[in-house]
Chains A and B, each alone.
Chain A
Amino acid sequence: MKFTSVLAAGTAAVLALGLTACGSGGGGDDAGGTDAVTITVLPKNLGNPYFEASTTGAEEAGEELGVTVEEVGPDTASPDAQVPFINTAAQQGVGALVVSANDPTAIGDALEEARSAGTKVVTFDSDTEPQFRDIFVNQASPEGIADKQLELVAEQIGGEGEIAILSASANATNQNAWIALMEEKLASDYPDIELVETVYGDDDDQTSFDKTAALLQSHPDLKGIVSPTTVGIAAAARYVSTSEYKGKVAVTGLGTPNQMREYVEDGTVEAFALWNPTDLGYLATQAAAALAAGDITGEEGDTFEAGRLGEFTVGADGEVLLGDPYVYDEANIGDFDF
């Protein structure tokens, strides 16, 4: 135990020295000129296939724009793990920082410092509080997510019947917002579809799995399950794929291709939705480059060209919306690996 802490302290000291060294060097470069823009991409953590996909998009944008894109990040997605990386980037004087925040406030001070040094900050996937960044590239609007899931389930159950929702935890803000929107939309646009129950799987494989079993048992006429959480949809699909309900009860919602591949291939799941993280990283990097070049400032109404994705407009609170969620099905699931 003692040995570990000594080792840790030593590592920290070495790192600190390293950072200082980098800092002075980087500062000098920045003063020299801004022709070679560097964009640092800071995902929640490294080794996460989702962010590997978004970084691929970022690098693609970097190549197209002729800017250097560099990925750094912590091993685990803990709230303040990103702070040292933000500090380093600020000291290096990078043109822009593209970050998926592990915490809306914990990295705020570090981001503010970076911005006062002239670095532009774009958040993507997961936002900080608005005052800490210039632009947030939002993967999808709550309305878009709610609409797309209802569209999918309605299509898969033939427009009428009982459905249920398998959510994450009962106090997950985004889940509850989506569910409320789905309820509204069901009442207004889908009169023949009845939402019979919403259950909570706590984003735990086992709980979600058991809740799915209970749902199917307590509602024998259930025709579809919508799970707006990646853990939930995979667990529901796993249960349905090995039960007599396979092919009779539709499972859809928000999932990742790797988790769902098995169930799309065996016919349990027809289609599910999620944004496309590669596009998300691509757009965030395009926005960062536009900010660093001074083309936009992040004001509402600013417009910029984002390569193959076309033109985007900055909305209220500095938000840029990627668009409607992307639908994954048997035809395209093989193209993705995250």
Chain B
Amino acid sequence: MRSVLRRREAGIALALLVVIGVTTAVQPGFLLTANGWRDLLLTPAILVVLAVGQAVVVITRNVDLSVGSVLGLTAYLTGRLFIAEPDLPIVVVTLVAVAAGALLGLINGSIVAFARVPALVITLGTLYVYRGVTLTWAGSDRIDAADMPHPFLALGTQQVLGVPVLTVVAAIVLAAVAYYLHTSRGGRQLYAIGSDPDAAALQGLPVRRRLLGAFALGGALAGLAGVMFAARYGTVSSGAGLGMELQVVGAVVVGGVAIFGGSGTVAGAALGAMLLLTINRALPVVGIPDFWQRAVVGVLIIGAIALDRVLANRRSRRLAAERDADPPATSPPGGAAPPGGAAPPGAGPNDREEATT
């Protein structure tokens, strides 16, 4: 139980509840009207899907900065498909957009895996390339709500038993990816690769294949997010999703996924996304002036990372203390020795003594 409470996710969930609670106290409509309830669940749906994909990539000690551009391109593609073939089933359009996203992700992944260039640089490049493609294709043209079929636009706000469809989609994505990461061999290998890529390679893990898979998954989810964007906002210009990569990375980091890979969960990333967007929505409601809102969000991100750092340090100190502790003379303050300090790791006597006590 304690370990559950200590989990990073619990802290974010708690913060989320506090934000919702305070805002609802100020303005009951934030939660207690049909519209407020819907927006609370619906607004983060797109960012949750993106954050889940990004988390998978970040866990492998990479990052995909191109997701905003992939979202823009696939959202525009969605609109163009409907203009070209108004009778195309929504499922087909969604699959095409997801496949397009996966392809774009695969391009990122191939360059990262084969050219061995840092993902930060590669995806910064493809961020501009993919956006450039959208700009060339769309120009100053736009997809308007009138260009897309009504049933598709309705999906953007439709609810099933009080839960918006897009939120259901996000939840399914989250559950599926979480299950994969947690239980499958491939999922565990992603963590291993992120913890120590060289060790993973030495161990014979299929590093390249896993990286390609992670980027393709991230891209596919960005493609799905593009479809959701089109349905939700009803307007797609060439600027759709501009700057969203920062929000996504922010959500992932706030959600406790280590930016250097190897640890974190997609559930944390999803909670991070919900927290960021809920704060965004809450600030104007509690009366923070428009111009200050971004600054507040920035402070919260820095706060989250600082908290993460403090917790991580404390944990490593505690681990080091446990390792270094000599049962006969346990001195808690002395335990604050830097990790990898005095006692040689795995020293025989220590092990034996611990076993006896």
Give the CA-CA distance A50 to B140 in the complex, in Å: 9
Give the CA-CA distance A13 to B236 in the complex, in Å: 37
Q: How many residues of A contact B (CB 8 A)?
A: 41
A184 within 8 A of B: no
Which one of A109-117, A127-135, A214-222, A284-292 contacts B? A214-222
B234 and A238 contact, CB distance less than 8 A: yes
Residues of the B chain whose Cβ atoms lie less than 8 Å from the Cβ of A200: 290
Give the CA-CA distance A265 to B153 in the complex, in Å: 15
Name the prevailing secondary structure of the A interface residues. helix
Contact A258 to B233, CB < 8 A, known contacts A47-B139, A200-B290, A210-B43: no
Which one of B32-40, B109-117, B216-224 contacts A? B32-40
Give the CA-CA distance A261 to B139 in the complex, in Å: 21
Distance in angstroms from A201 CB to nearest chain B CB is 10
Q: Per-residue CB proximity of A199-238 to B under 8 Å, as 1/0? A: 1100011100111011111101000000000010011001
B291 and A170 contact, CB distance less than 8 A: yes
Residues of the B chain whose Cβ atoms lie less than 8 Å from the Cβ of A44: 140
A68 within 8 A of B: no
B34 and A244 contact, CB distance less than 8 A: yes
Which residue in B34, B142, B145, B291 is a CB contact (below 8 Å) of A238? B145
B156 within 8 A of A: yes
Residues of the B chain whose Cβ atoms lie less than 8 Å from the Cβ of A215: 284
Which residue in B35, B156, B285, B290 is a CB contact (below 8 Å) of A199? B290
B146 within 8 A of A: yes
A149 within 8 A of B: no
Residues of the A chain whose Cβ atoms lie less than 8 Å from the Cβ of B240: 205-206
Give the CA-CA distance A48 to B27 in the complex, in Å: 43
Contact A259 to B142, CB < 8 A, known contacts A211-B284, A218-B287, A235-B235: yes
A213 and B281 contact, CB distance less than 8 A: yes
A238 and B141 contact, CB distance less than 8 A: no
Contact A217 to B139, CB < 8 A, known contacts A238-B235, A261-B146: no
Contact A244 to B33, CB < 8 A, known contacts A170-B291, A238-B233: yes
Contact A242 to B157, CB < 8 A, known contacts A76-B135, A170-B291, A210-B43: yes
B30 within 8 A of A: yes
Distance in angstroms from A235 CB to nearest chain B CB is 7
Residues of the B chain whose Cβ atoms lie less than 8 Å from the Cβ of A198: 290
B187 within 8 A of A: no
Give the CA-CA distance A77 to B285 in the complex, in Å: 37
Residues of the B chain whose Cβ atoms lie less than 8 Å from the Cβ of A77: 140
Interface residues of A in 20-73 (CB under 8 A from B): 44-50
Closest A residue, CB atoms, query B277: A210
Closest A residue, CB atoms, query B39: A213
B29 within 8 A of A: yes
A209 and B233 contact, CB distance less than 8 A: yes
Which residue in B35, B146, B156, B287 is a CB contact (below 8 Å) of A258? B146
Please, could you name 27 A-B residue pairs with CB atoms under 8 Å apart, sorted by A? A48-B139, A48-B141, A75-B136, A76-B135, A170-B290, A170-B291, A204-B242, A205-B240, A206-B229, A209-B233, A213-B43, A214-B285, A215-B284, A217-B29, A217-B36, A217-B284, A217-B285, A218-B27, A234-B144, A238-B235, A242-B156, A244-B35, A259-B144, A259-B235, A261-B144, A262-B144, A263-B145
Residues of A within 8 A of B (CB): 44-50, 75-77, 170, 198-200, 204-206, 209-211, 213-218, 220, 231, 234-235, 238, 242-245, 258-259, 261-263, 265
Other than A231-B235, A261-B146, A262-B144, give 16 A-B pairs with Cβ distance below 8 A. Answer: A45-B139, A48-B141, A49-B141, A170-B291, A205-B237, A206-B241, A211-B284, A213-B43, A214-B281, A217-B30, A217-B36, A217-B281, A234-B145, A244-B33, A262-B146, A265-B146
Residues of B within 8 A of A (CB): 27, 29-30, 33-36, 39, 43, 135-136, 139-142, 144-146, 156-157, 229, 233-237, 239-242, 280-281, 284-285, 287, 290-291
